[in-house]
Amino acid sequence: MIRRLVLTTVLLGLFSVCRGQEDAKPSACMPKGKLLRVEYAFNGMRLAEYSNFDLKRGAETGKSEFSFNHHISEVTIHDVADTLFTAVSRIIEEERMFEYESYYGLPPELEQRMLDGFRWRFDACFENGERIHSSGRHVFPDGNGLQKIERLLYHAADAATKATLDEE
């Protein structure tokens, strides 16, 4: 009985540490207004693997730009269609990404034993000043929001690259 109680306590402690480590409170609802900027970065610690997506719209000018920097290529698209911002906003809302904790990671004693892994960072800014910021090491939040946004932006970068090659 004591073993079971100790094991349950340890497991609950590990689970709560892995969920979110900082005191920042996630938002209870989707931020209002237009999405102005989304950044998503992913770094593998082994090999030179990284991806950085940056989708932004000027608040005053309305001009938009999408940059994708990957360990093997770099793409920049100017005058991005509003539908890309709308699609990202929809994913944020459907996947309830506004509820993400500010940090996800392993307990320090497990972190020290990791020989390989990854880091990620997500940041979304809205025209009313609200912001969603989350990051992590070795642990992702529940749901598929980050993967859906990454897939959407990869496809946008791929389509732009193909269009550029077709023009040449």
At 92-124, the pLDDT tens digits run 999 999 999 999 998 888 877 777 788 899 999
Which amino acid, residue 60? E
Q: How many domains does the chain fold into?
A: 1
What range defines the domain where residue 91 resides? Answer: 2-167
Residue 146 and residue 134: Cα distance in Å, rounded?
A: 11
Which amino acid, residue 136? G
pLDDT band at 9 (very low <50, low <70, confident <90, very high): very low
- Among the listed residues 102, 99, 138, 110, the one whose alpha carbon sits nearest the alpha carbon of residue 14: 110
- pLDDT for 165: 61
Model-level pTM? Answer: 0.76
